[in-house]
Each structure stands twice: as C-alpha cells, then as structure tokens.
Amino acid sequence: MQAYSGTNNTGFIHRLDARTKMAVAAGVSIVVVCLKEPLPLALIGIMGFFFLLSTGRFRLMALAYLFIGLMLITAAGCAIPIIKLLKGSDASYADFLVPFLRIIATMNVVLAMALSNRIQGMLSALKSLRLPLFIYLPTSATIRFIPVFMEDVRQIRESLKIRGFHIGVKSLFLHPILTLRLMFAPLVIRALRSADDLGMAAELKGIGLTTSSTHHNPTRLGFRDAFTLLFWVLLLGLSLGIEFGPLKEMLP
C-alpha cells in the first residue's frame, strides 16, 4: 500500500485530493449494491480498472488481483457443493457473475485510493473535512502510529531472531500462544506508554482549548478533482440509467 510504504509518486491519481478519491469510492460502493445487471457493473469495473492502472503500482495490483482471485475461487469452490446439495441437477453457476463483478468494481476504486493516498495527504484530507477534535485526534493518532508500529514490529522480530526465536508460519503453527505473546506483549506496552505520553503532550500543548481549528495551509479541490468527480458522476449515472432508466433497452 502506498500509505504503508510511504513512497512518492506524482501521477494524475496521486495528485488528486484524498477527498475526491473517497467520494469516488463511496459512490461506486453504493451504486454497485443497487445494480444487478452485468453490463453496467462491467462498465464500472472496466473504468475502475483504468483508474487503478493510473496508480502505476502494477506489482501490487497483480498481487491484489491474485489474492482476490484466490479468495473468490476458494469461496466458489466451497459454494458449488452447497448449490448442488440445494438444487441438485438444476444447479446454475451463472449467478456467480454478478457478485464477482460487484466485488471487482468496488475493489478497483478502493484499491486505487489505497495505492495512491500518502499518509500525510490523508492527514491533510482529514483536516479539510473539518472533523471535530474528538474524531480528528484519534484518527490522526492512528495514521501517525501506523509507520511507527511497523518499525516496532520489525525491531521486535529482529530482536527475537537474535534471541533464537524466528517468527513465521512455523512458529505460528507450532507455538501459537508463545508467538503471539512474544510479538504482541511489547507492542501493547508500547501502545499504552505512547498513548500516555502523547495524551500528556496534547494537554501540554493546550490542544482542546478551543473546539474548532484553523488550517494554515488548506488543501483546495482543483481542476483535476472536478474533472474526476464529474466523470464518475456521469459514469455512475449512466450505469443507473442503463439498469433503471431510459437506457434500459440497451440491455440484452
């Protein structure tokens, strides 16, 4: 994930405001649930795929597709005996298409957002959403601590490796409780201590003296954002039109 990796890209999608990508993901998530015809779902899925391609993170894309493909095949593999049991010789597998298209269409846009958002960009986006302090402060603490915990995990794994204990699939199967204890006990302690320290730091900086904040460097939606939002509104409108409205005759 871009957010986890912290790498820097300057392509079209990377320069979109995080709020735009959130709006696109939210719109697609809601519309695909309403649709049940393959054609409009495929249309959203294909456009979403190009949206995802523009992140340029081909390796991660391939991995995500591989993962979701494996999951869907496993789920379908388990579902087929149930279908046979329920319907016998009348079993039809065509009904897999629509759920799969919904999953792929949603995955494309949310993955595009996850692969192109940078952590600091997310903090700015959160700030620009004008969230109240009681939502902004914990959310920003979560984002701020994700890279810190990833580094902690690396350090703990390495210090255990030096002690002679290798954390991996084998240890997880052979000594699950010990593995969890060795890995997570220091992390929980770290979390509690960091929370105490940062809580005190917040008090000592006078955070919470006012209920609203100012923004010294506000992010503004630009032409790219307007274009992207307009494009997706038209596309989702078209898809809904094909299924429910005047374009219904386009369907086979």
Min CB(161)–other proteins separation in Å: 7
**Is 53 one of the binding residues for other proteins (CB under 8 A)?**
no
25 part of the interface to other proteins, by CB under 8 A = yes
Asked if 183 is part of the footprint of other proteins (rule: CB under 8 A), the reply reads: yes
The least distance separating other proteins from the CB of residue 44, rounded to whole angstroms, comes to: 14
Q: For the packed helices 119-128 and 133-163, what is the interaxial angle rounded to 10 degrees?
A: 160
- Site size for other proteins (CB under 8 A): 120
247 closest CA partner among 35, 33, 237, 29: 237
Q: Which is nearer to other proteins, 141 or 247 (CB)?
A: 141
Q: Find the binding residues for other proteins in span 62-121 (CB under 8 A).
A: 67, 70-71, 74-76, 78-80, 82-83, 86, 95-96, 98-99, 102-103, 106-107, 110-111, 113-114, 117, 119-120
Answer yes or no whether residue 33 interacts with other proteins by CB under 8 A. Answer: yes
User: Which residues contact residue 179 at a Cβ distance below 8 angstroms, ignoring those fewer than 6 apart?
Assistant: 167, 171, 172
Among 46, 193, 233, 234, binds other proteins (CB under 8 A): 193
Neighbours of 204 (CB within 10 A): 8
Shortest Cβ 234–other proteins spacing (Å): 20
Question: Interface residues for other proteins in 222-251 (CB under 8 A)?
Answer: none
Q: CB-wise, 198 or 238, nearer to other proteins?
A: 198
Residue placing its CB nearer to other proteins in the complex, 183 or 221 = 183
In angstroms, what is the minimal distance from the CB of 249 to other proteins?
A: 23
Q: Of residues 132-171, which lie at the interface with other proteins (CB under 8 A)?
A: 133-135, 137-153, 155-156, 158-159, 161-165, 167-169
Question: Smallest distance from the beta carbon of 7 to other proteins, in angstroms?
Answer: 12
